[in-house]
Structure 1
């Protein structure tokens, strides 16, 4: 880890800070799901069917926090074996996160104020898309298509980090609306968070990845 540069440490700190609220609050619910004391207000759906939400919390936390390490150039360059090992863990955790998210969307009964048709179908679509991107990334790296692998994992990561952006947007919505956003307003904020994440990911892919490929393309010319 001593090979990681200061700028990369700053990136990791930013990811941990950005993921803090959804990750920590999720992990604080684990004791409740295991039959221990309630540290935060109870979730009736979690009490009735705790397995999917427990797996979702663990999978999402690993995917978001450990997954951030996978984007560090220094780690890939100096510790490739560690990068590959963490990659397997992150890919598995991402699939667990996405599939349990789909499980909860389909099986849990949400009141209309917390999930309307827009949010329901967004969750179903993006859960399947996240798994597809992770599978695509695995297939690409086995074919030694590094750029396609990184792009697919970044898109999956953007979906997986949806809860962090949703938390930020909901807090902003509460400030302006003076109350918790519910119904269609909540659906729009939740879906908008994923749209923002994916837009940023696409911008990064087109600007940064394209710039890194350009010298190779020039040098391979006649």
Structure 2
């Protein structure tokens, strides 16, 4: 019992990831959102292959922004412990105004994304898993199975934040593959770009999800 009480009364500085996560999300959104705020397709960082692509992309970005902000709040221990009612309301916003509509729009965008079939398959799976983990997490909360709820929402969190990991991996793979443009890719920068995009989309969400599973297994072992 003492250990449980101590865990619930840890000061903010004993959880060193809270503020860096909030800062990371803020910096990412400040950098990523401006080209889409004016609803000008010419400013999009992703070329639209069809007429409907840009509106769906903006829809995905809008709902995903809500998901990222509310998801960061959801895993904030202070909010969860001191203001459980607000935690529940924020969770509903994350589920119904963030993750679910964002994953559905993301699934649609993935089908027509101009990054090749490898990236398309990855993004379709990402959207499907994000949707599934979020819905399952919500169902577990409704059933008051809060341990299972927490585990599914940790997975949903990892998939939600994988867009940040995606950007980091993009730089890594660009540095690794750029010297091979004249050999592996026969001088085709387009082929190299599609390879970078494909590998990046997979590592962007698979690695965070594996880390989340490792953390859940480790935490479960500690409690046992």
| TM-score category of the 2 structures, normalised to the smaller one | 0.7 to 0.9
Contact residue 169 and residue 189 of structure 1 kept, 8 A: yes
Summarize the alignment of residues 56-205 of structure 1 with structure 2, pairs less than 5 Å apart.
Answer: 56-92=60-96, 93-106=98-111, 108=112, 110=114, 114-115=115-116, 117-178=117-178, 182-205=193-216
Tell me how far 1:22 sits from its aligned partner.
4.5
Tell me how far 1:85 sits from its aligned partner.
0.5
Q: May I ask how many residue pairs the two structures share in their alignment?
A: 202
- How far apart in 2 are the matches of 1:54 and 1:12? 28
Tell me how far 1:123 sits from its aligned partner.
1.3
- Please, what TM-score do these two structures have when normalized by structure 2? 0.78
Q: Which has the higher contact order (CA 8 A, sep 6+)?
A: 1
* Change beyond 3 A, Cα 1:118–1:66: same
After superposition, the C-alpha distances for 1:178-198 in whole angstroms (9 at most, x for unaligned) are 488512343112201211100
- How far apart in 1 are the matches of 2:37 and 2:24? 23
Is 1:45 paired with 2:48? Answer: yes
The match for 1:31 is: 37
Contact residue 100 and residue 134 of structure 2 kept, 8 A: yes
- How far apart in 1 are the matches of 2:65 and 2:18? 14
Runs of at least 5 residues in structure 2 that lack an aligned partner in the other structure: 1-9, 180-188
- Please, what TM-score do these two structures have when normalized by structure 1? 0.79
Runs of at least 5 residues in structure 1 that lack an aligned partner in the other structure: 215-222
